[in-house]
Amino acid sequence: MFMFEKALVGGRRYWIWILCLLAVIGLGFLAYLRQLSYGLAITGMSRDVTWGIYIAQFTFMVGVAASAVMVVLPYYLHNYKAFGKVTILGEFLAISAVTMCMLFIFVDMGQPTRVFNVLLYPTPSSLMFWDMISLAGYLLLNAVIALVTLSAERKEIAPPTWIKPVILLSIPWAVSIHTVTAFLYSGLPGRSFWLSAILAPRFLASAFAAGPALLILLCMLIRKLTRYDVGREAIQKLALIVTYAMITNVFLLLTEVFTTFYSRLPEHMAHFQYLFVGLNGHAALVPWMWTSAILALASLALLIVPGTRNSHRILPLTCGIVFLSLWIDKGLALIVGGFIPSPLGAVTEYAPTLPEISITLAIWAIGFLMVTVFYKITLSVREGFAS
């Protein structure tokens, strides 16, 4: 396959990492086989909480995928040269994240063998149909862009001119994937937690904080493990993007909280109450939510103060905090919280089961495996280039 041979050369440390990932994937695959034969009863989901960690993780990863636009846009649209070494890493991260999204949707399906019914009976009234189109399109766009630009680089020639409009198309497309994903939830009349026009902007803001935070962590890790350095300026610019996105995200969340609690609409308040103080004696997510809130505030302090933002010893910690805070908020609570209480006022709690966690970890491992292989190929091309 295309430049794949470069991923098959690596040291001892590289192969141990790959084998660990494969082991996690193998375990998850076994769990999935059990889920396939026994049914989704193997998960923590229920008649009241019909979507759990799979769909929550899907939602979170769409954000990570969309965030590639935060490096693509400055580099290609504004010709911001400092992102020259990081852009392709962002694109490959997007490809891996979209693949994870598709896998999370797939493992959530009750009848996975019928997945192509979505294509056999295309239904434009369903947002899921549009989500499928936008995700598949985004995957294709990024795959084409990354491969074409990288192979041009390997041949030491300029990329073909036709790729430029494709790249420009990928910018609004990135925004579209997360907007459509938010519309999946925000247009449902009976789910007041999601029934908010601000959901899509909130999704984008949290995505543009979590995604670049992850990218910074990956870049710093690569710098530590290899000779490849994306450059201090690129990392600082990314950190600034995380800062603004995180401020916007917290601001949007607070506007949601204001509307909900000043209007005192009981149906809208109930979900926030469940998440932050508990409802009818049920409070499983309360510690998680406060962790997320405190981490969000802490990260804001660390990001806004220039001294801590510019310190490359503190920045990885800050990025980890941002990522964890948003992962709890979006990758867990946002979806589950929408189902609690149920439309009939029932408070049924949700906690993922061991097989469910194992399947989720396996999909994450697949994502990491893809990122590892892609970055390995990229770095081989570029290091060879340098020498």
Partner 1 sequence: MIISRKRFLQVTGVSLLVAAGEKLMGAFSGVVPSEAPAPALTARRWAMVVDLPKCYRKEGCIKCIEACHAAHNVPKFIDHALEVKWIWKDSFENVFPSQENHYLAATFKDKPALAFCNHCDNPPCVRVCPTQATWKREDGIVMMDWHRCIGCRYCMAACPYGSRSFNWTNPRSNIAKLDPDFPTRTKGVVEKCTFCEERLGKGKLPACVEACPEKAMAFGDLDDSHSQVRELLGSRYSIRRKPELGTQPEIFYLV
What residues make contact with partner 1 under the rule CB under 8 A?
A: 38-41, 45-48, 50-51, 105, 108-112, 114-115, 117-118, 120-121, 123, 125-129, 132, 184-185, 188-191, 266-267, 338-339, 342-346, 348
CB of 108 to partner 1, least distance (A): 7
Task: Give 123 or 310: the residue with its C-beta nearer to partner 1.
Answer: 123
Least distance to partner 1 from the beta carbon of 190, Å?
2
Among 58, 53, 64, which Cα is nearest to 332's? 53
Start-to-end C-alpha separation, the chain: 24
Q: Which of 3/284 has CB closer to partner 1?
A: 284
Q: In the complex, what is the shortest distance from the CB of residue 272 to partner 1, in angstroms, rounded to a whole number? A: 17
Q: Is 269 exposed, middle or buried (0-12, 13-18, 19+ CB in 10 A)?
A: middle
In degrees rounded to 5, what are phi and psi of residue 84? -55, -35
Among residues 197 and 344, whose Cβ is nearest to partner 1? 344
Given the complex with partner 1, which of 144 and 195 has the nearer CB atom? 195
> What are the residues whose beta carbons fall under 8 Å from the beta carbon of 324, sequence distance 6 or more?
292, 295
For residues 230 and 375, give the distance between their C-alpha atoms in angstroms, rounded to a whole number: 12
Which residue lies nearer to partner 1 by CB, 229 or 349? Answer: 349
Token output for 163: 């790729």
Q: Which two tokens stand for residue 124?
A: 């434009």
* CB of 151 or CB of 342, closer to partner 1: 342
Q: Is 30 exposed, middle or buried (0-12, 13-18, 19+ CB in 10 A)?
A: middle
Q: How far is the CB of 59 from partner 1 (least distance, A)?
A: 13
Chain length of the chain: 387
**Of 345, 178, 384, nearest in space to 266 by CA:** 345
For residue 285 the two structure tokens come to 């997510």
Q: How many CB atoms lie within 10 A of CB 338?
A: 18
CB of 342 to partner 1, least distance (A): 6
Decide whether 51 or 276 has the Cβ nearer to partner 1.
51
Distance, CA of 164 to chain centre: 25
Residue 349 Cβ vs partner 1, minimum distance, rounded to whole Å: 10
Cα–Cα dist 102/137, whole Å? 12
Cβ–Cβ under 8 Å, residues 303 and 309: yes
Q: Is the peptide bond before 124 cis (omega within 30 degrees of 0)?
A: no
Nearer to partner 1, 26 or 343 (CB): 343
Q: How far is the CB of 116 from partner 1 (least distance, A)?
A: 9
Least distance CB 185 / partner 1 (angstroms): 8
The single residue listed with the structure tokens 């993007």 is 241
Q: How near is the Cβ of 39 to partner 1 at its closest, in Å?
A: 4
Residues 152, 156, 162, 167: what is their CA dihedral angle, to the nearest 10 degrees? 60
CB-nearer residue toward partner 1: 35 or 292: 35
